[in-house]
Structure 1
Amino acid sequence: MSNTVPGTSQATGAAGPPPDPKSSAQDTIDRRTLRRSMLGLGLGNTLEWYDWQVFGLLAASIGPHFFRDSSPLDATLNTLSIFAVGFVARPVGGILLGGVADKIGRKNVMLWSVGLMAVTTLVIGVMPDAATIGAAAPIILLICRLLQGLSTGIEAPLSTAYGVEVMPKGRSGAAAGIISFFVNFGILLASLVNYVLGLALGSGVMGDWGWRIPFLVGAAMGLVVFWLRRALPETLHQSDPEYVGVTSSVWKGVFARWRSLLAVIFVVGAAQAFNYGWNVGLPNLARTSFGEDPTSVFGVTTILSLIMVVGSLVVGPLADRYRLSRVFLIGRFLMIPAVFLMLLYTAKGLGGFAAVLFIGSPILLINMTLYVLVSASLFPKGIRSSACGLGYGIGVAAFGGTASYLVVWMSGKGLSQLFPVYMAVLAALSIGLYLWARKTEGVFVGE
């Protein structure tokens, strides 16, 4: 099989297409165009993750409007179930849109991704609740979440693939850091908007109708991002040596590298289980099981998001300086003990909640900055969007989308200690599979 060439970002072998050359976009793009491209690329990620995070953070407020005959805890769990079902559509988005991106190019697919997210966010913000339209309300909500899953299923892997291809060679870590900055800015913005609205309107009004405002903000943001993305240059051309013009050939190349695909599923799954356990599961646990003040919870999650925003711009360049694989593996090994911090939060107390989130934040930062780039590094350019979209979608659907539900559900059953064990096992598996895929099938960027 193939081996990594020391000191380069290339690999060779029969398992897939030939190694990455320097793309034409990297040869010709000027700095002004590069900055504009990264802005349009990054703000699209801000929109996607803002909209996705808003739904998770507001689950306790949304639930009673769509599941009126349930208790507050059951209504929250039902809403988190819809939140989790949205992840099921992510592999489908990766398969459908990833194949299209590897066949016709990146730009149009990224426009469709942002447009779909903006429209469905608007629908959630203005749609009537179950008191007005009955059972149709949760059904429409479910449909919107499934469509948003299609959008987010391709956004992160395709954005990372695009960022690696448009940035100068040797700066893939910086590209990942910039994208992660905008992702975390979206998460920060979601927490900040909810926090400010909670202070201005109060918890009662937020639970009544104020929860709709963050969704309307997201829809308006979508118009701006769509306009910016229209100017993105294309990075995949028919003249590229790795261009694959037939979708069936793309998927043949993807499944030939099945070890790398399996590694991506667990690399993504472990990171996302950690992420949603910290960013969605624990805040909802604090509000529903321990009765913490919602505005105070949003204040703590806003600070966590600020740490992630600033830190992303540090971790990315570190990966370029000290090698992507080395920085990633350090962060992934540290995840195993870090997840057990959750066991310290067992009773009401905002200080305990904040301590768990903040102590674990540096480990969360490393993993969330690099996990998509690590996934992209295992595949050559011609199949990168399809492979990463599929692996990303499965990993998030299987492990990320269920994490917040499991945190709340296990706590309600008195089984809180099981979730950290579950995440630690995922982290260990991801390390082993990544090293195996890297050794047998090689890496293509980041080294």
Structure 2
Amino acid sequence: MSAQDVAAPSSAQLTGKASKTERKNLRALSWGHALEWYDWAIFGLLSSYLGGHFFPAGNELASTLNALAVFAVGFVARPIGGIIFGSMADRLGRRKVMIFAIAAVAAGSFVIGVTPGYETIGAAAPILVVAMRLLQGLSAGVEAPLGTAFALELVPNRPGYVSGIFGFFNNLGNLLAPLSIFFLTQLITGDNLAEWGWRIPFIIGGVFGLIVLWLRTTLPETLDVGDAREANAEKQQRSSVWGDVRKYWLSVLATVFIVGAIQAYNYTWIAGLPNLARAAFQEDPAAVFGITTGFGILMTLGALFLSKVLDRFAMSKVFIVARILAIPTIFLSLLYTQPGIGTFAGVMFGGAIVLLLNMTIFVTISNSLLPQHIRGTGLGLGYGFGVALFGGTASYLLLWLQSEGMFWMFPVYIATLCAISVVLYVLAKNRNGIFVGK
């Protein structure tokens, strides 16, 4: 184990409160999380408008599908970004990489918002949009795992508090995206929204990113990287990082399933079921929007509540209980096999509490399996592949299985992933120990 590693705090240490400086540092990191998820959701929600401007294909459906394909490019880029920039964070320090991450998110959002359409600049328009989504995907691959790792190093005695605050801001970003579009539709006409109004949320994201960028420049560094500034020392450290990642291969593999299983569950609730309600069962869009907004509010405020109570419990035990509870809960989705807005609401809110608990702690749990000096690399690798392999494909798989009359297979698939994640977590914990919480 490296001398840089920090031992897990004792029970007495975990009862302490975060200082004013720690809270300030946490805000600088977590607001970036909110911006990332806001931007990610905005692109998906406004895909039909982007498609017509940047990807003309003869009809609205084809243009929208082209835009959604570009949305998927961001998922493909995530593991690449996690590996590249996670490794850089373990060699050069957290602060520089986190500043780059938020700068990439803000720049991508702003450029998409101001780029002229296909009719004005031709093929340069879709090329620019694809390039910005790739940049944002690379950033997203390191923002969530490394941001939480950085926060746990800045506020080492309150892992539950860190988990809850990050969960709050993640959910806040997801919630602000549809709300901003809703208010925009109240201020301008549908034609203006389609013509130019859709650009406003992207530009706002870019401008707000500058504020978060400034906040992150005030963050201290938590990793001792002085020796790595010399070329030979940097080469040795790079070799040590990847060598230790291989030693902790079971922890990395566990992270893939810890992240992938709950992200598959998450995308089922926030995208799969709402799309099933609208596209397959033709539910009232206003009712679906109202239910999903209420669900988002519950997730956001629930994470804030958890930030105040999680440190009273052993995080490892909370994870095992929460993940086991997810196995039967995912089968609630089988109740929604035909139209019925009441059933849809019941399923959405019935699965919310278990999803909330899992989504609040899963990144912290992944951090706990790896020592400090390889968290950037190990988490970037495990988190990126977990989201890309299981999270990003969940909504498509749900709708496809439903169309083929095999919807029952979907909860079996998610339940299996959850079970595997528990087994791998216990094996990795027993073999390597834990480095965060207790």
What is the TM-score normalised by the length of structure 1? 0.86
Tell me, yes or no, if the aligned pair for 1:323 and 1:446 is still in contact at 8 Å. Answer: yes
**Pair 1:141-2:141 in alignment:** no
Q: Superposed, which structure 2 residues align to 1:256-275 within 5 Å?
A: 256-275=247-266
The match for 1:87 is 75
Letter in 1 for 2:436: V
The match for 2:37 is 49
User: Quick one: which of 262, 269, 274 aligns to 1:283?
Assistant: 274
CA distance in 1 between partners of 2:189 and 2:288 (Å)? 14
CA distance in 1 between partners of 2:121 and 2:272 (Å)? 29
CA distance in 2 between partners of 1:345 and 1:379 (Å)? 39
Change (3 A) 1:251 1:399: same
The match for 2:170 is 183
CA distance in 1 between partners of 2:410 and 2:212 (Å)? 37
Give the C-alpha shift of residue 62 in structure 1: 3.7
Q: Superposed, which structure 2 residues align to 1:16-415 within 5 Å?
A: 19-21=5-7, 31-69=19-57, 75-132=63-120, 136-169=124-157, 171-201=158-188, 206-238=193-225, 245=234, 246-415=237-406
The match for 2:230 is none
What 5-or-longer segments of structure 1 have no aligned partner? 1-13
Tell me, yes or no, if the aligned pair for 1:195 and 1:299 is still in contact at 8 Å. Answer: no
CA distance in 2 between partners of 1:337 and 1:148 (Å)? 35
Comparing 110-119 with 57-66, which one deviates more in the overlay? Answer: 57-66
Tell me, yes or no, if the aligned pair for 1:163 and 1:176 is still in contact at 8 Å. Answer: no
Tell me, yes or no, if the aligned pair for 1:318 and 1:327 is still in contact at 8 Å. Answer: no
The match for 1:3 is none
What 5-or-longer segments of structure 2 have no aligned partner? 228-232
Give the C-alpha shift of residue 306 in structure 1: 1.3
Tell me, yes or no, if the aligned pair for 1:90 and 1:153 is still in contact at 8 Å. Answer: yes
The match for 1:431 is 422
Letter in 2 for 1:237: D
CA distance in 2 between partners of 1:95 and 1:386 (Å)? 6
Give the C-alpha shift of residue 138 in structure 1: 4.1
Query: Sequence identity of aligned pairs in percent?
Result: 49
Tell me, yes or no, if the aligned pair for 1:17 and 1:380 is still in contact at 8 Å. Answer: no
The match for 2:407 is 416
Change (3 A) 1:393 1:217: same
CA distance in 2 between partners of 1:405 and 1:71 (Å)? 22
CA distance in 2 between partners of 1:131 and 1:284 (Å)? 31
CA distance in 1 between partners of 2:94 and 2:313 (Å)? 29
CA distance in 2 between partners of 1:296 and 1:199 (Å)? 17
What is the TM-score normalised by the length of structure 2? 0.88
Tell me, yes or no, if the aligned pair for 1:64 and 1:70 is still in contact at 8 Å. Answer: no
Letter in 2 for 1:223: L
Give the C-alpha shift of residue 192 in structure 1: 1.5
Letter in 2 for 1:354: A
CA distance in 1 between partners of 2:146 and 2:335 (Å)? 37
CA distance in 2 between partners of 1:350 and 1:66 (Å)? 35
Give the C-alpha shift of residue 353 in structure 1: 3.0
The C-alpha deviation readout for 1:338-372, integer Å capped at 9, x for no partner, is 22222333444443333322211111101110110
Letter in 1 for 2:300: V
The C-alpha deviation readout for 1:111-160, integer Å capped at 9, x for no partner, is 10000011111122233444555555444333222211110111111111
Aligned length: 425
CA distance in 2 between partners of 1:77 and 1:352 (Å)? 29
Letter in 2 for 1:157: P
Letter in 2 for 1:149: G
